Structure 1
Amino acid sequence: MHCGGGFMTLLLLMVTRDSETCFSRPNISAVEGEPFYLKHCSSSHTSENEETSVRWYKSSKSNGRTELNPGSSPRITMYDNTLEFWPLELEDQGSYFSQMGNDTQERTLTVTRRNIHSCFNEKQVTSKPVGVEKVLEIPCTNDYYQKRIKKTSLYKNCEKLAEDNSSLFMMKNAEFSDQGFYSCVFSVYHNGKFYNITKTYNVIVTEGQKNMAPVLIGPKINYVEVELGKTVQLSCSALMNENDIIYWSFWKEMDQFSNIQEEGKKTWISEGKSYASTILRIEKVKENNLNFSYNCTVVNQEKTDTSTFILLRKASKDDIPGDIFTGGMIVAILISVVVVCLVIMGIIYRVDLALFYRKLMRRDETLKGNNCHNAETSYFMMKLVNPIGKH
C-alpha cells in the first residue's frame, strides 16, 4: 500500500475470532465455483436429551425430499452441524432442510453464474457508503474459512492492491478517488486443491454533511391481512444515515412469539442518499400473533421515528366484504320504502287511477244504459264522504 494526500493507508493483520456468528436466513444467494456452506443454527429450546447430530435434506420437484450424505456427491462434505460444498455448482440450487431432534430449519439457496469478464459478481456486492474525509475501512476477513486460508488478496476495480498470507484490513481517510469496487479474494486449501472465495464492497464516497433526521418510508400504521398457518414478512425501510439504528420491537410475554425472527439490516445508496431496510419474519402465523403492534423504529441522536404493523385475519372468500354488505342493505331498505309508499298511494287514489286508466284506454264498461250516470254519481259521492267523515 502507499501513502498519499496526507492520509495514511494502513494494512493490518486481523485476529480470527474464537466464535462464529450463526445466521439462519431463509433465502441465500451464492456464486458457482466457490466453496460454500450451510450451517444449522442450534436453537436455545433444544433439550439436552435430544439428538445432537444434524441430518441434511434437499428438496426438488422431481425427487421430492432426499437425505444428503457424504456419498451424495464428491463435492459435499459434512462437518459438525455444517454442510460444505467444494465447490458450489448450479445444480446445487434448491431448498435445503436441516434437522436436529425436533428442530427443523429450511433455506432456499440460489446459485448465480460466475462473471468470466470480471473478478467479482455484480449480484454479490455489499454497498459501503462513506463521507469524504471520514474513515474508510475494508475488512478482508472470513471467520468460517479463516484457519484454511493460505493467501488473501485485495483488489480495486480488479487491480491488485495488496496481498498477505492471512487476513487484510485497509483503513484510511476517504477521498473521492477511493470510490470503486474493492474485492477481497481468499485462497482456501482443501483436499489438495486451492479454491477462491470473493467478497466485494462497492465504496461510494459522498459529500461531507451533517447527519440528517432519519425517517421511515410508508404509513405510520399498517394493517396486514394474513392467513393462519401461513408465513408473513413485514418489511420496514428508512431514509437514514450510515450509523443510524433501525430495529423491531413488540410486546412479548412468556415466549409466546417464539415463531418470530428478525433478519439483519440491508443498506443501499440511491441518488446519493442512504437507505436501509429490515424484515420481521413470522413463521406459521398463530392466533396470538394477531392484533398486536409490531413496531419498526429508526433512531439517531436527532430524531426517533416509528411505524406500527398490525396483523389482521384475512377475510374468507365466502364472506361478503363489509362495504358491499352495507351498501346492499341500504339499497334494499330504500326499495322497500318506495314499494310501501306506492301501495299506500294506490289505496288512497285508487278511484282516480281507475278513471285515468279507462280514459287512457278510451273504454268505459259502465257506459251501458244509465250506468254512466251511476259511475259519475258514485265517484262524486266518495269525494264528499271523505270530508264529512273528517268532521
Structure 2
Amino acid sequence: MTSQNPVFIPGPTNMPEAVRLACHVPTMDHRSPAFAEILHPCLDGVRTVLKSETAEIFIFPSTGTGGWEAAITNTLSPGDRVLVGRNGMFSHRWIDMCRRHGLDVQVIEVPWGHGLPADAYEAALREGDVKAVLATHNETATGVVSDIAAIRRATDAAGSDALLLVDGVSSIGSMDFRMDEWGVDVAVTGSQKGFMLPAGLAIVGFSEKAMAATRAAKLPRTFFDVGDMAKGYAGGAYPYTPPVGLMNGLRVSLDMLLSEGLENVFARHHRMAEGVRRAVDAWGLDLCAASPEVQSDSVSAIRTPEGFDATEIVTVAARDYDMAFGVGLGEVAGKVFRIGHLGMLTDAMMLSGLATAEMVMADLGLDVTLGSGVAAAQAFYRHGGKQQKAAA
C-alpha cells in the first residue's frame, strides 16, 4: 500500500477529499441552467480571491501555460514590445512563448534567487515604447516572490501606459494577491496549486483596460479568445465543451477557501513556510531565495552543498519513502531540491515531509542531524504558529 500522499511538490498539490469527490459528477448538459449554477459561482469566487471588484474572469480547459498564452494573444499584436524580467525557469518560459508569438521581447536579466527589480523596470520603460510589462509574482523554480505593486509604481513613474501581465500560478489562492490595488491588468493562475485541484484549468482575470486592449490586439487566437468566452458566459455556457467536473471541483474549492477566510489561508501558508525555513536553518543549509523579504510562502528551494547532486534527494525520497519533493529546474538543476508548502497542508503533514527529507539526506551522507529540522519546525508550530492562529 504505497502512495505519494501527501506530496510536497509545488504543484499539483494535495486534494481535499471534498474537492476530489466534487470533480466526479454525472454527465451534464453544459448548455443547461444546471451548468450555469456551477459556472457563475466559480467566476465570482475567483474574482474574490483576486481581490478585484471589476475583473472579467475566464476559465479555460488548460494549465497555467495556456493562461499565459491567453494573456498575450488577447492583448498584443505582432511586433509589440514587451518588457519582462527573467529570474527563474517560469519567467524564462514566458519569455520563450512571447518570442514564438513574434513579440519584441526586452529582457531584464536577474540573478536566480533574487526578486524582480522595480528600478530596472522603470529605467527600461523610460527608454522606449513598451506595450506590456510581464512579471512573475512567485517564481516556483527558486522560491522567490516579487513585489508586483512596486513594478506597477515603476511603470507609472516612467510615464508608461503599458499593461501589467502577472504570472500568479504558484501564488494566487495561497498568498495575498491584490489585482485592483496593485494595478494588475491580467492575472494568470491554474487549478493545480492554491486551488487544490488536478491540473486542467487555466484561470485568468482581465482588467477593464486589458479588455479594451483585446479589441485592437491582432495576435491570432481561437481556443483562448476571451471575446468568444465572454459571449458564451452571457448565456451561462462556453463556446465549446467545458470540463464540467473540474469546474464543479473549483466551485467547492472556492467555497472552502472563502469559508476559511482568505487572510487565514494566507496566514496558514506563511506558517507552513516559516516552519520549513526554521528546519532549513537547523540543517545548516540555505534557501535559494537571497533574502528574507523575497522568500516564498508557497515553495522553498533549498540549496545543497557544492558538489552534491540535489536531485538525488528527490529520487531517493520517491524510491525509498514514497514521498515526493520537487527537483531543481534550469540554472539551479542539481543545486536545489524544492519543498512545496501550499494547498491542503497542516502542521503535522509538514512535519512528516521534513522528517522524510532528513532521513533521505542522512541516507545520502549529508551532515544533517536526524530530528534537528523537525524539532526547529515543531518549536515554531507550537509557539509562534499557535500565536499566529490565535491572531487569525
Please confirm whether the aligned pair reaches a TM-score higher than 0.5, indicating the same fold: no
Tell me the TM-score normalised to structure 2 length. Answer: 0.26
Which structure is higher in strand share? 1
Q: Answer with 1 or 2: which has the greater Rg.
A: 1
Which structure is higher in helix share? 2
